[in-house]
Amino acid sequence: MSRHAFSQVNVFSADPLGGNPLAVVHEADGLTDEQMAALARWTNLSETVFLLRPTEPGADYWVRIFTPGGELPFAGHPTLGSCHAWLRAGGRPRQAGRVVQQCAVGLVTIRQAGQRYEFAAPPLRRTGPLEPDDLDRITAALGIAPEEVLHHQWVDNGPGWCALMLPSAERVLALKPDWPALVPYFVGVVGASPEGSDTAVEVRAFMGSEGAEDPVTGSLNASLAQWMIGAGLVESPYVASQGTAMQRAGRIHLHQDGEGIWVGGEVVDVIDGMIQL
């Protein structure tokens, strides 16, 4: 057996219990794929990550990201949480003020913005409107009438996300998915927040193949921002709320600059210790 430093952090909320938890295993180079997958099933968090020495030139570290159901090529809250945990454990980036993460979608740049971390949204792998059959299946699984969908789009940056825009945050929060019918789709749903809110939109993330809702989702919000800002559906900068339906208080800060779309949030330490595998 081997012992590894272990962290559990909270991402996308200053409240330690209000965002999305992430388990981080440090110096995980000696672990097998089977051990990583087994630990992810054991923690039963939306994601568990493993920090390894990078193999790509220019990367500061390599992260592998596992859900209880398998490995992901990219995910947002693991990106910010991994960066925080790596720096806190003594990691030193090659370039001051920027950390370069290696993951299955390539290299992702992360930087600090005051009390928050933010990552550069990776390129979309698939775009364009949903096919009619896909849209029919998804709306039926979510109990949405077709005329309620204001806009729809593939926004896949690795996990396979597609997105629906509904008329309001209230309608988004009322959704009750038929999980078996939602397989195999990963669906993000977004609606405008009420006037006077401190956020622009309410977001929910339904992972059909996992049969679960993700509390706060960086990858989805990254691709939603690329779509919605690009299409003029929201203005940059804006703040998205996510997790309300799960009694979380996730806040994702999104903006566009000359380098692209940036996705930011706070990271809070919750647990430090050792894990034996």
Catalytic residues, which ones?
47
Cβ–Cβ < 8 Å for 194, 241: no
Cβ–Cβ < 8 Å for 111, 97: yes
d(CA 160, CA 147) in angstroms, rounded, equals 24
| CA 175 from centre of chain | 20
Cβ–Cβ < 8 Å for 84, 19: no
Other Cβ atoms closer than 10 A to 156: 17
**237 preceded by a cis bond (ω within 30 of 0):** yes
d(CA 161, CA 158) in angstroms, rounded, equals 8
